Amino acid sequence: KDFLSSHFGSFCPFLYLHNNLIALNQTLSISEGANIDTASRFGPLSGQIISNIKDGVRAAVASCPARLVEAFYSCELQCDQQQLGNMYGVLAKRRGRVTEEDIVEGTALFVLGAALPVAESFGFAGELLTRTSGAATAPQLAFSHWEVIDLDPFWRPTTEEEREDLGEEVRESNFARRYIDAVRARKGLATDKRIVVAAEKQRTLARKK
């Protein structure tokens, strides 16, 4: 108890854990004075400690800004000069970035190296060929590295200026939150997405006879 008070007393999650351990200690002190057997007195001890430590660790993790880590593909592309702008548009739409660019000597063919998020790579080849009218070659994808998404998936606007610019919900622009919601929906877990946003604006369609 003294160790927690001196080292973690200023942190709310550990203070919460500290208070729960004090309450647990008082419960055990009362139990020791009663005439009950050892099994019933110390039986729930391990479960109570695990439960309190779990709540304290969860509160400590939730108090820090959350960040996601996403995988990236290294992508090699070839495209004609006339369709180079469309290729850049497809990469920008999927948060890809060009790392190198070169031209094949004696031709109008460009060779590009790019980094593309794995989560944005689904349907990339089809869209690329459609937007470039078949002038681009099929992308060659290989796993490259991991990167931290510098965006809090649980961030919400707090000031008046942020609410005016972004609105109350920033789910559409917060792609990190969209990734979390997509994974939870695919696994059948609950999300906080509202099905009906403005119930008073709903209208009942007349049944045509």
Q: What is the mean pLDDT of residues 161-175?
A: 70
From the CB of residue 125, how many other CB atoms can be counted at a distance below 10 Å?
14
Question: How many CA atoms are closer than 13 Å to the CA of 73, on its beta-carbon side?
Answer: 19
**pLDDT for residue 198 is more than 60:** yes
**98 bridge partner residues:** 114
- Enclosing H/E stretch for 53: helix 45-62
- In this prediction, residue 1 carries a pLDDT of 43
**47, containing H or E segment:** helix 45-62
Mean pLDDT over residues 2-26, rounded?
50
- Of the candidates 105, 124, 127, 103, which has an alpha carbon nearest to the alpha carbon of residue 115? 124
The pLDDT value given to residue 181: 85
Which phi and psi (to 5°) does residue 140 adopt? Answer: -100, 110
Give the mean pLDDT of 146-171.
76
Radius of gyration of the chain from its Cα atoms, rounded to whole angstroms: 28
Stretch among 8-22, 48-62, 71-85 having the lowest mean pLDDT: 8-22
- The pTM score is 0.60
* Residue 16 pLDDT > 80: no
Of the options 3.30.70.240, 3.40.190.10, 3.40.50.11610, 3.10.20.600, the CATH number for the domain spanning 69-148: 3.30.70.240
Given 3-state DSSP classes, what are the helix, strand and coil percentages for the chain, each rounded to the nearest 5?
45, 20, 35
Spatial separation of the C-alpha atoms in residues 139 and 194, rounded to whole Å? 38
